[in-house]
Amino acid sequence: MPANLTPQYLDAELKFKQAKTTPEKIKALEVMMAVIPKHKGTERLRGQLKSRMAKLKEELQRRPAVAKAEQAYNVKREGAAQVVLLGLPNSGKSTLLSRITHASSEVADYPFTTQQPIPGMMKFENLQIQLVDTPPIQSDHIEPGFPNLIRNAEGLLLLVDLTEDPIFQMEVLLEELSEMRIKAAGKGPTLSPDVGWVSLRALLVGNKCEVKNAMEAYRRFESRFRDTFPILPVSARGGMNLDELRKEIYQILNILRVYTKTPGKEPDLTEPVILKKGSTVEDVALSVHKDFVAKLRYAKVWGSGKFDGQMVKRDYLVNEGDVIELHL
């Protein structure tokens, strides 16, 4: 039987086809359902519209849940850099966070204790570095907000439990990172990643090193990964090797600190200017004030210069600990 669809209906159908968002589609579909002639010939079509509507409404309801989950994974960056802690269930991430920052994250001897990212600030010398504890990585499931959380960080701390086959755990972690198109970069220069990928420096940490036989497992773990990654053993619970850990975390960040001074005055060594390695005097000027770049004539450098107070040009590469006096 012919459907005899009216111009009103065809008009609504066109709107439906052109609709870009789910609410727009629902609106057009409502009109279609209202104006469609109700007779035997349109029965099947009416059935289709109804099920389409059900799907759209379901979609509309699902969305906020995903958005909410992603939102829960947004962590505002604070301090000099953000480092994300990753590991399988029970590896000791939360114990470590609670140990080296002032934050507290629930610790328990059962897996999946941590349900959302928890940030904490770690003090390293005159710097504050943000560490983010996370829910455990699983090999079959990635939480919606996880990839973004990691991609936005400056470094990764990959934690394994030395009492539970650490090599296997690290393989799972690296594989899951690949799933998220994240390359854990190790020693040496970081190559620019493929399109759609990000590359992040990673530090490998074997936890629970105080447990009997754990150091033997560490040796195997170390010999497998040490050529590629910086790596060290710690005991989060026992507080072992944590100063070394702070240093290593700073090292993977690829940043350096310089200090600025005004002529005739002492530099303030408590207020470092944080820059990427490979930065120049010009970058120092930019970080102080954007107008300084244009006005900059030369600088004097204490530290990495041939002699203290050496005059350098704007393209001079600064080094960790340099004191820079900008001359405008």
Ligand X SMILES: Nc1nc2c(ncn2[C@@H]2O[C@H](COP(=O)(O)OP(=O)(O)OP(=O)(O)O)[C@@H](O)[C@H]2O)c(=O)[nH]1
Q: Which residues bind ligand X (CB under 6 A)?
A: 87, 89-95, 107-109, 111-114, 136, 207-208, 210-211, 235-238
Quote the least distance from Cβ 69 to ligand X, whole Å: 17
Nearest distance from residue 237's CB to ligand X, in Å?
Answer: 3
State which of positions 134-193 bind Mg ion (CB under 5 A): none
CB 185, min distance to ligand X, A? 23
- Residue 81 interacting entry, from ligand X, Mg ion, none, C-beta within 5 to 8 Å by type: none
Whether the Cβ atoms of residue 46 and residue 36 lie closer than 8 Å to each other = yes
**Rounded Cα gap, residues 69 and 67, in angstroms:** 5
Among candidates 112, 108, 232, which has minimal Cα distance to 160? 232
Query: How many other CB atoms are there within 10 angstroms of residue 317's CB atom?
Result: 13
The token pair that represents 92 in the structure block: 């000791």
Tally the C-alpha atoms within 13 A of residue 100's C-alpha that lie toward its C-beta.
30
CA-based torsion, 135, 248, 154, 81: positive or negative: positive
Supply the minimum distance, in Å, between the C-beta of residue 99 and Mg ion.
12
| Contact residue for Mg ion among 94, 98, 207, 279 (CB under 5 A) | 94
- For residue 92, the minimal CB distance to ligand X (Å) is 3
Nearer to ligand X, 79 or 238 (CB): 238
- 213 or 270: whose CB is closer to ligand X? 213
Per-residue contact string for residues 32-61; x = within reach of Mg ion by CB under 5 A: ------------------------------
Distance (Å, whole) CA 199 – CA 191:
8
H/E segment holding residue 299: strand 298-302
Q: What are the residues whose beta carbons fall under 8 Å from the beta carbon of 69, sequence distance 6 or more?
A: 143, 144, 145
Range 106-135, binding Mg ion (CB under 5 A): 113-114
Fill in the amino acid letter for 303: G
Tell me how far apart the alpha carbons of residues 174 and 74 are, in angstroms, rounded to a whole number. Answer: 22
Q: Which of ligand X, Mg ion, none does residue 87 bind (CB under 5 to 8 Å by kind)?
A: ligand X
String of contacts with Mg ion for each residue 231-270, x by CB under 5 A: ----------------------------------------
- Helices 242-252 and 93-100: crossing angle in degrees, nearest 10, is 100
207 lies in the binding site for Mg ion (CB under 5 A):
no
Give least dist CB 96 to Mg ion, A: 9
Other Cβ atoms less than 10 A from the Cβ of 256: the count is: 19
Taking the least distance from each CB to ligand X, the nearer of 33 and 240 is 240
Which residues make up the interface to Mg ion (CB under 5 A)? 93-94, 113-114
